[in-house]
Amino acid sequence: MPIHPIFGAVRINSRGYARISKRGPNRNKYLHLAVWEKIAGRPVPDGFEVHHMNGKACVCPRQLVCLPKIMNPAPEPLRCPFTGQFISKRAWEEIYCH
């Protein structure tokens, strides 16, 4: 089981994200969120997500950025917000980035 120097033992879930194992206020929190909150000194604002600039295994504070959810699309298949049908990344960008 990997050990983080501040948050202690972590476990890697089925999607490849590290979660904090120890008891306390951060138990079961995603490690990248806990690291960002520790450095920022505040919780992630509503409507925002912490993005890994260097892949989801990297939790270096210099590689984490807090972005509005709309700017951090999920890596899973994208769906049109109006029809629910699967769409391409280009179509998704046309809806949300123009």
pLDDT tier for residue 90 given thresholds of 50, 70 and 90: confident
Residue 81 lies in a domain: no
Task: Give the number of other CB atoms < 10 A from CB of residue 26.
Answer: 19
Q: What is the mean pLDDT of residues 15-32?
A: 88
Residue for token pair 């904090």: 20
State the residue range of the domain holding 59.
3-71
Burial (CB count <10 Å: 0-12, 13-18, 19+), residue 66: middle
pLDDT of residue 62: 93
Residue 19 lies in a domain: yes
Spatial separation of the C-alpha atoms in residues 47 and 45, rounded to whole Å: 6
pLDDT of residue 75: 63
The model's pLDDT over 51-78, given as tens digits with 9 standing for 90+, comes to 888 888 889 999 999 998 878 766 667 7
Q: Into how many domains does the chain fold?
A: 1
Q: What is the mean pLDDT of residues 6-11?
A: 90
- Comparing C-alpha atoms, which of 40, 50, 56, 91 is closest to residue 71? 50
